[in-house]
Every structure is written in C-alpha cells, then in structure tokens.
Structure 1
Amino acid sequence: MSIRHGLLALLERGPRYGSQLRTEFESRTGSTWPLNVGQVYTTLSRLERDGMVAQGGEDAAGHTLYTITDSGRAELRTWFENPVDRTSPARDELAIKLAMAVGAPGVDIRDVIQSQRRHTVKAMQDYTRLKAQALAAVESSAARERDDVAWLLVLEQLIFQTEAEARWLDHCESRLIRLSATAANAPAAPAARPGTEEAAPAARPAAPAPDAPPVAGAR
C-alpha cells in the first residue's frame, strides 16, 4: 500500500491538513488500512523534503495546510500510468506459515489449513455483506459519491482475494493428500545390514567343483 501516493492523490483535490488527510484516506478505503496521524505527518514531511508537497498557510482553525507541487503531480501521474510491480511481492504471512509447517515437529499442517479456511470463509462472508451495503449506498445516490464507489472497489478486491485464498488452501490440502498417498504406496527400501549403508545381495549357494567326488550316500 502506498500511503505516499494516496496522500498525493488527495492533495491534488486541494489543500489539506494532516488529520483531514487521514480521515479522507480511511473514508475512501473503508478503513481497510487504517492510518494514524503520526504516519500521515511523517509521510508529509518526506514528501515536503522531496519537493512534492509544500506548506500552504493555515486554515481558519490554525491547521497547517499542505499543497501538492508540480513535482508531486508528475509523481502522481507516473504512479497512475504504471502498473503495480509484482516482481517483488510483499511477504505473505499465510504462505510463510504453511511453508514452515511442512515437516515441523508436532504440527499437523492439515489442521493449520482447516483453521485458516474457516477464518477465510468467515472473512469472505463478512466482506460480501459489506459489499451489499456499499452497493445499496451507491445505487441510492444519484451523485454516486466517490467515497462509496471507491469503498465498493476495495471490497470487491478483498472478496476476490479471499476467494483465491480459499481455492489455494483447497489446492494445498489436495497436494498434501496426493503426496501422502504416493509415500504410502512407495516400495519399501531393503533393510541395511549393521555396519553397511546398503543391503548386500543375498549370497548364492556355491556350485560344486567339477572334479569333486560324489557326496557319501547320494544316488
């Protein structure tokens, strides 16, 4: 998530102060990624240092207002015009957890998957209910408020994301079942004799020498 570019996008609509930017950011995204005022002002300071925003006086209540500069607008245009880079994906805690659960002593990875699946399905149901409310708000507003539409888009992304996660968990469980079945059906390796790494082939009975005399009592 780019707080930096999100604040630039809000400032392009006009001067804003820190807590106002936080409120508008959370309203636009439905508080999916909550910010605190400290994050906002830290980001504003960095943007000001980089010449992308500037302080533009105060409002009637004495709040310091920030405005976007030409450099900030150019940075924002570049952000909108270029795709989000997926070559270095953010760390995913669930993927890391399952990777570490494979072969971990005392951990049944299938239990981990089942627990996560229940949580993911519950989250998907919650997002779906919120989507119905957001959709009703959008359809009832002739002006199609930007914040309502933006929140609807964020919710739909979350729904698609949880649906994909549920399918991935199903895939992980199926793969583990196949691997377990393959391991169970694999032929057992011959037991090694003590002091050797591999089992020695069984000794064949020695053939009698060509000139050996007949064994006593044999016919």
Structure 2
Amino acid sequence: MSIRHGLLALLARGPRYGSRLRTEFEARTGSAWPLNVGQVYTTLGRLERDGLVVQEGADEAGHALYALTDSGRAELRAWYATPVERTDLPRDELAIKLAMAVGAPGVDVRAVTEAQRRHLSAAIHTYTRLRAQALAEAPAHRDELARLFVLEHLIFRTEAETRWLDHCEARLLRLAEATAAKEPPEEPPQAPPIPPV
C-alpha cells in the first residue's frame, strides 16, 4: 500500500493538516488500512524533504497545512498512469504457513486450512454487510464510491483466497489417495490361537 501516494492524492484536493489527512484516508478506504497519525506526519516529512509537498501556513486552530508542489502533482500523475507491479509481491503468511505445514510432523494441514476458511467466512460476512450498508446509502459521492471500491476489493480477495484453499485441499486429498493406493494393504490381524483344553 502506498501511503505516500495516498496522501498526495488527498492533498490534490487542497491543503490539509496531518490528522485530517489520516481521517480522510481512512474514510476513503473504509478504514481497511488504518493509519497511525505519526505515520502520516513521518510520511509528510519525507514528502516535504523530497520536494513533493510544502508547508503552507496554518488553519485557524494552528495546524500546519501541507500542499502539493508541481513536483508532487507530477509524481501523482505518474502514479495514476503506472500499473501496479506484481513482481515484487509481499510475503503471504498463509501461503508460508501451508508450505511449512505440508510434511511437518504432527501438523494436520487440513485443520490449518479449515481454521483459515472459518476466518475467511467471518470476514466475507462482515465485508458483505458493510457493502450492503454502503449500497443502501446510495453512493452518490466520490468518497462513498471510493469506500465501496475498497470493500468490494476485500470481498473479491477473500473469495479468491477461499478458492485457493479449496484448491489446496483438493491437492491434499489427491496426495492422500495416491499415497494410500501405493501402500500395500494391511493384512487382517491374526486371531490369537485358541488354547487347548
């Protein structure tokens, strides 16, 4: 997630102070990615250092206002025009967990996937409820539409992860069946001899 570019996008609407940027960022993203106000001010400091924003006075309450520079506008236009790269993917904890669980002694991989599935089911229920609320409010404003975009992104990602878990479980089942087919059948246990009378 690019907090840097998110803040630049909000500043394109006019000068803002840090905590207002935080509030607007969270409102636009449906609070899916909460920001720490310290993180906002640290990012603003870097943006200022890089010549993308400048401090432009203060509001009535004395909050320092930040505004985009021409370089900041150019950076924002370039960000919007550049596709998001998928080559430098972040590490996914679930994928790593399943990769490590396969073949690990004493780990039931199907139990791991089932626990994740329950979590995803609860998440999709929450996201769907929030989307229904957003749709009921008739997204006539760009900020409401932005919130709806984020909620639908979360729904689609959760659905995709659920499909991936289905795929993993199918592979585990095929492996278990193939392994069982290769093992010689167990001989029935021999009944103990009957002692002579």
TM-score (norm 2): 0.91
Q: How does 1:23-172 map to 2 (within 5 A)?
A: 23-139=23-139, 144-172=140-168
Identity of aligned residues (%): 70
- For the pair 1:184 / 2:171, whether they are aligned, the reply is no
**Structure 1 unaligned regions, length at least 5:** 189-219
Map of 1:205 onto structure 2: none
More RCO (CA 8 Å, sep 6+)? 2
Residue type at the aligned position of 2:124: M
How many corresponding residue pairs? 184
Runs of 4+ in 1 over 4 A off after TM superposition: none
Cα distance, 1:72 vs structure 2: 0.6
Per-residue CA distance 1:117-171 (angstroms, 9 max, x = gap): 11111111111111000011125xxxx1222111101011111111111111011
- Distance, in Å, in 1 between the alignment partners of 2:127 and 2:91 is 23
Question: Deviations for 1:35-81, whole angstroms, at most 9, x for unmatched residues?
Answer: 01100000000000100000101111100000000111111001100
Return the index of the structure with the highest Cα Rg: 1
Match of 2:192 in 1: none
* Structure 2 CA distance for aligned equivalents of residues 12 and 33 of structure 1: 20
Q: Which moved more, 1:178-187 or 1:20-29?
A: 178-187
Q: What is the one-letter code of the residue matched to 1:120?
A: L
What amino acid does structure 2 have at the position aligned with 1:77? Answer: R
CA distance in 2, matches of 1:162, 1:187: 38
Q: How does 1:171-210 map to 2 (within 5 A)?
A: 171-186=167-182
> What letter is aligned with 1:156?
E
Deviation (angstroms), 1:187: 5.9
- TM-score, normalising length from structure 1? 0.82
CA distance in 2: counterparts of 1:99 and 1:75, whole angstroms: 39
Aligned AA for 1:88? Answer: D
How far apart are the structure 1 equivalents of 2:34 and 2:148?
A: 17
Worse-superposed segment, 89-98 or 38-47: 89-98
Superposition RMSD in Å = 1.0
